[in-house]
């Protein structure tokens, strides 16, 4: 018997099942809907981003400005720095229908917006 087969036998079926679940979860994360949000001139674009309620998604925030900005939402319990010329990914959802405020601490007067989760019928 090979070392690999012996090692698999030692690991056992519960561990292999757990590994399979982790791999499946990773595959599902790659198939999430990607929704883009831009930061230009210290403003979120669009200022109102509509997303489907009840669905997980990946928000890709790209900072097109010359300075650092932040994607923050107390409503969504998220806070991430977005360096200039870079993108970050924020996994969100499933959200209940409603409005979720977003803002940037570096430009609080202009970096304001909201994510609106709506039910699609």
Tokens, residue 25: 């979860």
Per-residue pLDDT band at 13 (split at 50, 70, 90)? low
pLDDT at 45: 97
* Superfamily holding 32-118: Cupredoxins -  blue copper proteins (2.60.40.420)
How does strand 98-103 pair with strand 87-92? unpaired
Cα Rg for the chain, rounded, in angstroms?
A: 20
Confidence of residue 98 (pLDDT cuts 50, 70, 90): very high
For the entire predicted model, the pTM comes to 0.74
> Would you say 65 and 42 are in contact if contact means Cβ atoms under 8 Å apart?
yes
Answer for the pair 44, 112: CB distance below 8 angstroms, yes or no: yes
Measured between alpha carbons, how far is 57 from 43 in angstroms, rounded to an integer? 22
Q: Is the pLDDT of residue 16 over 70?
A: no
Q: What confidence tens digit (pLDDT) does each residue in 24-69 have?
A: 555 455 689 999 999 999 999 999 999 999 999 999 999 998 999 9
Percent of the chain clearing pLDDT 70 (strictly above) = 74
Q: Which pLDDT score is estimated for 3?
A: 60
Examine the pLDDT at 5 and tell me if it is beyond 70: no
């Amino acid at each position: 018997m090979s070392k690999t087969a012996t090692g698999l036998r030692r690991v056992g079926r519960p561990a292999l099942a757990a590994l399979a679940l982790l791999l499946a979860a990773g595959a599902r994360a790659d198939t999430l809907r990607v929704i883009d949000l831009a930061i230009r001139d210290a403003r979120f674009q669009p200022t109102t981003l509509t997303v489907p309620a009840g669905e997980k998604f990946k928000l890709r925030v790209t900072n097109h400005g010359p300075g650092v900005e932040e994607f923050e939402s107390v409503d969504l319990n998220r806070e991430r720095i977005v360096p200039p010329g870079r993108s970050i990914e924020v996994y969100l959802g499933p959200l209940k229908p409603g409005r979720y405020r977003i803002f940037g601490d570096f430009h609080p007067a202009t970096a304001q917006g909201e994510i609106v989760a709506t039910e699609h019928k």
